[in-house]
Amino acid sequence: MRSATTQTILGFLGLAGPAMGQEAPPPEGPGGENDALKPPRTCGTDKGRHRRERDMGDPDMRRFRKTRGAMLVVAGTIIGGLVAGGVAYATIPSDNVIDGCYSRSGGTLRVIDSTVTECKKGETALAWNVQGVQGDQGIQGVQGATGPAGPAGPAGAAGTSDAYTVFTILEPASVSVPAGNYVVVGHGLVQNTDTDPHEALCSLQGVPVSFADLGPKTDFAFFTTLPITGTVSLASPGTITIDCEGTTPAIVAAELKLTVIKVTSIN
């Protein structure tokens, strides 16, 4: 008996016989009647021999016989492939579980498709998951070695700064600035108006930063220019002031020049 797939393949190749579970109809004669229903004809052996000789001499008949044989081979190959494919397409694993059979006598293990195959007598059925349950978290590893220092980054963009300046005569120089860090650069021209020598000094925010001894006004050393430099940090808006004076009122600041520059930080 042939399966439906085999019957379909043979039908495609022109070799199909009766379907599964059916009997082949009796051959029909030339008149459309079944020869099986007629009395058998009497023919001698010479007539059959002459037909075979005629067929062997006919090229078309020989080609038909060769083609029919080749098609039978092809049909057998396809059917065999389908049978093997039925095994290859077995659902392993089934429902994310691998099933197997363990032979208690020989110790062999074979994997099966539990939907179509059962373990044999003398075998123990086994099953295990394709993916096991998640394990416990492992312990923390040891601290790795410190890596090498990375390359220096590119230089940042230049920042901005604010500058404040003032010039005065015979009075302190002062500028009002917002909170921040400042670099102060200035100077004071001081002179002695007395006939006796005296000391002069200049200060920043009331703190002396430079000194000079001035001779009497009759001497060429009765005046000089003193530098005034330093830094000032203000937590809130305020003023920055420079001034020059002496131990007596005879020392005066003829002129003062103050420049204040705001910076990001003072190191």
Q: Could you tell me if 95 and 78 are in contact, meaning their C-beta atoms sit under 8 angstroms apart?
A: no
| CA–CA separation, 67 and 132 (whole Å) | 56
Q: What is the pLDDT of residue 53?
A: 55
Q: Which of 76, 110, 129 is the last residue of a domain?
A: 129
β pairing state of 251-263 and 109-112: unpaired
| CA–CA separation, 244 and 171 (whole Å) | 9
| CA–CA separation, 186 and 164 (whole Å) | 11
Same domain, 70 and 115: no
Under DSSP, the state recorded for 34 is B
Q: What is the pLDDT of residue 225?
A: 94
Q: What is the pLDDT of residue 88?
A: 41
110 lies in a domain? yes
- Bond prior to 154 in cis (omega within 30° of 0): no
32 lies in a domain? no
Q: What is the pLDDT of residue 128?
A: 85
| CA–CA separation, 17 and 9 (whole Å) | 11
Q: Which of 64, 89, 114 is the last residue of a domain?
A: 89
Taken in order 244, 249, 251, 253, the sign of the CA dihedral is positive
Q: Could you tell me if 210 and 162 are in contact, meaning their C-beta atoms sit under 8 angstroms apart?
A: no
Q: Could you tell me if 75 and 67 are in contact, meaning their C-beta atoms sit under 8 angstroms apart?
A: no
Taken in order 182, 186, 191, 192, the sign of the CA dihedral is positive
Structural domain range at position 172: 163-263
At 141, the amino acid letter reads G
Say how many domains are in the chain: 3
Same domain, 103 and 182: no
54 lies in a domain? yes
Same domain, 183 and 203: yes
Run means of pLDDT, 10 residues per run, the chain, 267 residues: 46 48 48 47 51 57 56 49 45 79 90 90 88 85 92 84 92 95 95 92 95 88 93 96 92 94 91
137 lies in a domain? no
Query: Which of these, 92, 72, 70, 91, lies nearest to 80 by C-alpha position?
Result: 72
Q: Which two tokens stand for residue 102?
A: 């363990």
Same domain, 53 and 102: no
Same domain, 259 and 196: yes
38 lies in a domain? no
| CA–CA separation, 51 and 42 (whole Å) | 15
DSSP 3-state assignment of 217? coil
| CA–CA separation, 101 and 37 (whole Å) | 58
Same domain, 251 and 206: yes
DSSP 3-state assignment of 96? coil
β pairing state of 251-263 and 207-214: unpaired
The CA-based dihedral angle spanning residues 259, 263, 266, 267, taken in that order and rounded to the nearest 10 degrees = -120
Q: What is the pLDDT of residue 163?
A: 93
DSSP 3-state assignment of 52? helix
157 lies in a domain? no
Same domain, 170 and 85: no
Same domain, 114 and 175: no
Same domain, 227 and 188: yes
Query: Which of these, 198, 220, 219, 202, lies nearest to 211 by C-alpha position?
Result: 202
Same domain, 124 and 59: no
Q: Which two tokens stand for residue 260?
A: 């204040």
Tell me the CATH number at 183: 2.60.120
Q: Which two tokens stand for residue 56?
A: 């062997």
